[in-house]
Amino acid sequence: MDTTFAITDVTGPFREPRESVFSFDYSIQRPTWATPFAVRVKVAVTEELDVVKNRIMGTVEGTPGQHMLLNRLLTRHIADEKLRIGDSEGMLSERRDVLIAPFVGPLAYLFPKLDAWVQVEQASLREEIRKVVGL
């Protein structure tokens, strides 16, 4: 059985009310499904985005616009990777709408996988940041 999925649409980032997170809404499709279904991925600003940004860039200087672009770019990459991690953990195995919460609290055991991805992709992320954001 083919367990791969395709992302058919992504919207976001959205700032969640009463939470310090950004979220993305994905529409994913597996070859065996008649229709796609929704997955919301939340990225915690302090516990995920700021940690990843610090590991990749260290202290960042730049204009407010550059910081906004940097945050948007990194948040999307983090959300994409969290979607892959969630799939590998079986969170997307059933055909139903899913929420992948921040990797803190009960899901903190998944953060090392995200951190390992950051270490592997650090050079390519820095290059993309340099090209897109100018930092």
- In this prediction the pTM is 0.91
- Res 30: pLDDT: 85
* Residue 3: pLDDT band with limits 50, 70, 90: low
Tell me if 55 is assigned to some domain: yes
pLDDT tens digit sequence for 5-30 = 889 999 999 998 999 999 999 999 88
Domain count, the chain: 1
Domain that holds residue 114: 6-132
* 54 within domain boundaries: yes
User: In this structure, is residue 52 part of a structural domain?
Assistant: yes
* Residues β-bridged to residue 15: 22
Q: Assess if residue 1 is contained within a domain.
A: no
